[in-house]
Structure 1
Amino acid sequence: MEKVGSSVGVVALAAAIATLLLPPFAAAAATGPGSSCTRSCGNITIPYPFGVEPGCYHAGFNLTCRSGAGGQGSPQLFLGDGTVQVLEISVQHNTVRINSTGMILPFNDGGRTKNGTWGSGLPRSGPYFLSETINRLLVLGCNTQVTILGGDDNNLVSSCTAFCPLSEPNPGFTIGTVASNCTGDSGINCCQASIVLSYSFYNIEINRLKGGLPFTQSIYIVDRSLDYTPDMVFSPDHSPKALPATLDWIIAKNSTCPTNTSVPECRSNHSRCQTSHSGYGCQCSDGYQGNPYVPDGCQDINECKSPDIYVCYGDCKNTPGSFMCQCPTGYTGNASIPNGCRDIDECERPEAHSCFGICQNFPGSFRCLCHDGTYGDPSTKGGCITIKKSFVGLSIGLGVGGTGLLLLALGGPFIIRKIKLQKVKKMRHKFFKENHGLLLQQLISRDTDIGHRMIITLRDLEKATDNFDRARIVGGGGHGVVFKGILDLQVVAIKKSKIVVQREINEFINEVAVLSQVNHRNVVKLLGCCLETEVPLLVYEFISNGSLYNHLHVEGPISLSWNDRMRIAMEVSKALSYLHSSASMPIFHRDVKSSNILLNDALTAKVSDFGASRYIPIDQTGVVTAVQGTFGYLDPMYYYTGRLTDKSDVFSFGVVLVELLTRKKPNDYQSVDGGSLVSHFVSLLAEDKLVDIVDPQVFREEDDKEV
Structure 2
Amino acid sequence: MTKLGFLLSGYIFLSLLGIWVVATAVVPAGHRPGCPAKCGDVDIPFPFGIREQCALHNGFKLNCTTVEGVKKPLWWDVEVAKISLANGTATMNTKAISRQCYFPANRTMRYRNAWLNLTETPFWISEVDNTVVVIGCNTLAYMMSSSYVIGCVSTCEGAPLEDGTCSGAGCCQADVPKGIQYYNGYFNENYNTTKTSQGITCSYITVMEKAAFRFKTSYVKSTMFYDTHKGKVPIVLNWQIAELACEDAKKNTSSYACVSSHSVCVDSTTHKPGYRCNCSEGYEGNPYIADGCRDIDECRRLVNPCGDGICENTPGNYSCSCYLGNYMTNGVCVPIQKKPSRFQAMPVVGASVGLVVLVIVVACACLIQERRKLRNMKLAYFRQHGGTILFEEMKSQQCNAFKIFSEEELQQATNRFSEKQVIGRGGHGTVYKGLLKSNVEVAVKRCMTIDEQHKKEFGKEMLILAQINHRNVVKLLGCCLEVEVPMLVYEFVPNGTLFDLIHGNHGWRISLATRLGIAHDSAEALSYLHSGASTPILHGDVKSSNILLDDNHKAKVSDFGASILAPTDESQFVTLVQGTCGYLDPEYMQTCQLTDKSDVYSFGVVLLELLTCKKPFNLDALGQEKSLSIMFMSAMKENRLEVILDDGIKGEDSMEILEEIAELAKHCLEMSGENRPSMKEVAEKLDRLRKVMHHPWVQQNPEEMESLLGEPSAMAHSTIVSDQYFSIEKKAVTNLQSGR
* TM-score bin (small chain): 0.3 to 0.5
- Higher Cα radius of gyration: 1
Bigger RCO of structures 1 and 2 (CA < 8 A, at least 6 apart): 1
Greater helix percent: which structure? 2
TM-score by length of 2: 0.45
TM-score by length of 1: 0.46
